[in-house]
Structure 1
Amino acid sequence: MATSAGTDHPITPATTRIGWIGTGVMGRSMCAHLLRAGYSLTVFNRTLSKAQPLLDLGAQLGSSPSSVAAQSDVVFSIVGFPSDVRSVLLDPTSGALSGLRPGGVLVDMTTSDPSLAVEISSAAASKGCSAVDAPVSGGDRGAREGTLAIFAGGDSPTIRRLEPLFSLLGKVNHMGGPGKGQYAKLANQITIASTMVGLIEGMIYAHKAGLDVGSWLSAISTGAAGSKSLDLYGARILKRDFDPGFYVNHFVKDLGICLKECERMGIALPGLALAQQLYVSLKAHGEGNLGTQALVLVLERLNNVSLKNAPAT
């Protein structure tokens, strides 16, 4: 019998059973790291085909979030929207918390509402369980390479005990109590949004100026304009590779949460508001299932130019 992760016993492949809800672009790679480290894993995904690669690696399939939790000591979730988080974790009949035994831990890695993270933490505590909000940054490449930035909100002892699992996925940063991981991720998204606008505006300007855009990206990458967004997406944009490391639809959701929080806080962030409108334009054009780098399409339309045939080394 596996030892509950909610006790003082260390988390190891021999003592800890893992559950995972949501095996999309990010979740699939993250699960694979846990499987390769020797952890037993039970997964649930609404679309079975997205879980099949993990089943091929040895994961078991759960019939619902509740059934996954009943076979697990620690249950991770990374789904689409706050409504999905509420459903898969808190639904009284099918949600993970309904199947989790006392001492178990919920770890939600979805970017979601800070207030919902607090609610989940309170609901878990009332059942003798723990909850951590731990959204991530780094995109599909970070998930594949195990180099994600993880923003954790919750109590220190629980987060410390989860370190063997987090370390397989990336670097955990404890940001404070329940909800603080979500606040940190939202601030991260605000930073990324304006950075992406700046990157693509620079690329279009360089193109109109007659520069080799690929050489220009390489030239600025080691200077003050260098960024993770440039490293992840500059070359992809030139190759017209809009496969989603992170979906436009989900980014619109994230930026909407950010704007709602800004209104609640009484602060104005005009760069965030502009970026959100540009991404909403992408969604309105039916491009919500592309990656966030597809923002270039909006700027191309605004300027009647295309980087499709831009000179690139």
Structure 2
Amino acid sequence: MNKSIIGFIGTGLMGNPMANHLLNAGYAVNVYNRTKCKAESLVEKGAIWFDTPAALAAQSDVVITMIGFPKDVEECYFGTDGVFQGIRTGAIAIDMTTTKPSLAIRLSQHASTIGVDFIDAPVSGGEVGAINGTLSIMIGGDKTVVDRVMPIFEAFGKNRVYQGAAGAGQHTKLCNQITIAGTLIGVCEGLLYGRKAGLDLTTMLQSITKGAAGCWSLDVLAPKIVKGDFSPGFTVDNFVKDLGIALEEAEAMRLSLPGLALVKQLYLSVQASGNGSSGNQALYLALEKLANLDQ
């Protein structure tokens, strides 16, 4: 796939550094984003700008989408100027957005009717992982097609695991988000307990990050919370979207996930307080209000 022309749609917080890694790896890259200024740094580096997803797809061998919400993905592919209106027969489309497994299956089914292969490949690792090229990529689709594009994934992903048929990548990402949601409650409540007990939180973290509690959220997000840094590596708004999808899928499977439901309600309160664009570590702010630290 080294000589393939890659079309990258969605050059925001995550997509911009991912596309940048592709340029660094020597790929020819076409770009489109709803807000053009977010792609300017890539264009300055040699990427080619296109005005619509359809126009980009018509000039690309592989189309990668990394956008926002399921409705955005649907519009990007099925819209009047969408990917499926311009994509070439024999091309490969890869959606790396976290979206509904059922949508990934529908995209795959439609792609097959027009001679296109489709892969769902959501990622984990946040903005830091995207910048460092160390994302974890969860991949669903035809295994032979996945093997063909694996060199592309290597440009920005460190952990690249094939999960199964179309939709399996999205289901795996939801497992990831459910786990992060539960873990973040523990991280935030541990910090609140330490604060109430009068501990130096930075010193406390030096101990617990190296023990059984050690995890990515403790290593990356807990120090941010201690510093009062709620800037986004992954926004509350996007996390609420993901948790909502997970709850919908769980309900469809008649699966009860009470912990997940609780975390989503707490995140809704973070949104209601005007912090939807903050990082998902802003869960701490909601729990802080409930903690009665001054009593």
Tell me the TM-score range normalised by the shorter chain: over 0.9
Q: Is 1:294 the equivalent of 2:282?
A: yes
Match of 2:29 in 1: 41
Provide the C-alpha distance between the structure 2 equivalents of 1:42 and 1:275, rounded to a whole number of angstroms. Answer: 39
Match of 1:110 in 2: 97
User: Which 5+ residue runs of structure 2 have no aligned equivalent?
Assistant: none
AA in 2 matched with 1:127: I
Per-residue displacement from partner, 1:23-74 (whole Å, max 9, x unpaired)? 1100011000000111111111111111111112111111011111011000
Provide the C-alpha distance between the structure 1 equivalents of 2:230 and 2:12, rounded to a whole number of angstroms. Answer: 17
Percent sequence identity over matched residues? 49
159-168 or 53-62: bigger deviation: 53-62
The equivalent position to 2:52 in structure 1, one of 42, 48, 64, is 64
User: Which residues in structure 2 correspond to 1:145-160 (within 5 Å)?
Assistant: 145-160=132-147
Match of 1:128 in 2: 115
1:304 Cα shift? Answer: 3.9
1:299 Cα shift? Answer: 1.1
Match of 2:235 in 1: 247
Match of 1:309 in 2: none
Q: Is 1:25 the equivalent of 2:13?
A: yes
Provide the C-alpha distance between the structure 2 equivalents of 1:291 and 1:257, rounded to a whole number of angstroms. Answer: 19
Figure out how many residues of one structure are paired with residues of the other and give that number. 293
Query: SS state of the match for residue 162, structure 2?
Result: strand
Provide the C-alpha distance between the structure 2 equivalents of 1:305 and 1:155, rounded to a whole number of angstroms. Answer: 53
Match of 1:6 in 2: none
Query: SS state of the match for residue 38, structure 2?
Result: helix
Provide the C-alpha distance between the structure 2 equivalents of 1:165 and 1:241, rounded to a whole number of angstroms. Answer: 33
Query: SS state of the match for residue 69, structure 1?
Result: helix
AA in 2 matched with 1:207: R
Provide the C-alpha distance between the structure 2 equivalents of 1:104 and 1:88, rounded to a whole number of angstroms. Answer: 16
Per-residue displacement from partner, 1:209-262 (whole Å, max 9, x unpaired)? 111101111110110001011111111111111111111001000000011111
Structure 1 runs (4+) deviating above 3 angstroms are none
Provide the C-alpha distance between the structure 1 equivalents of 2:229 and 2:37, rounded to a whole number of angstroms. Answer: 23
Provide the C-alpha distance between the structure 2 equivalents of 1:56 and 1:304, rounded to a whole number of angstroms. Answer: 51
27-36 or 231-240: bigger deviation: 231-240
Query: SS state of the match for residue 124, structure 1?
Result: helix
Per-residue displacement from partner, 1:267-301 (whole Å, max 9, x unpaired)? 11111111111111111111100110111111111
The equivalent position to 2:220 in structure 1, one of 220, 227, 232, is 232
Provide the C-alpha distance between the structure 1 equivalents of 2:90 and 2:277, rounded to a whole number of angstroms. Answer: 38
Query: SS state of the match for residue 151, structure 1?
Result: strand
Query: SS state of the match for residue 162, structure 1?
Result: helix
TM-score calculated relative to the size of structure 2? 0.98
Q: Over the residues paired in the alignment, what is the CA RMSD in angstroms?
A: 1.0
TM-score calculated relative to the size of structure 1? 0.92
AA in 1 matched with 2:284: V
Q: Is 1:202 the equivalent of 2:172?
A: no
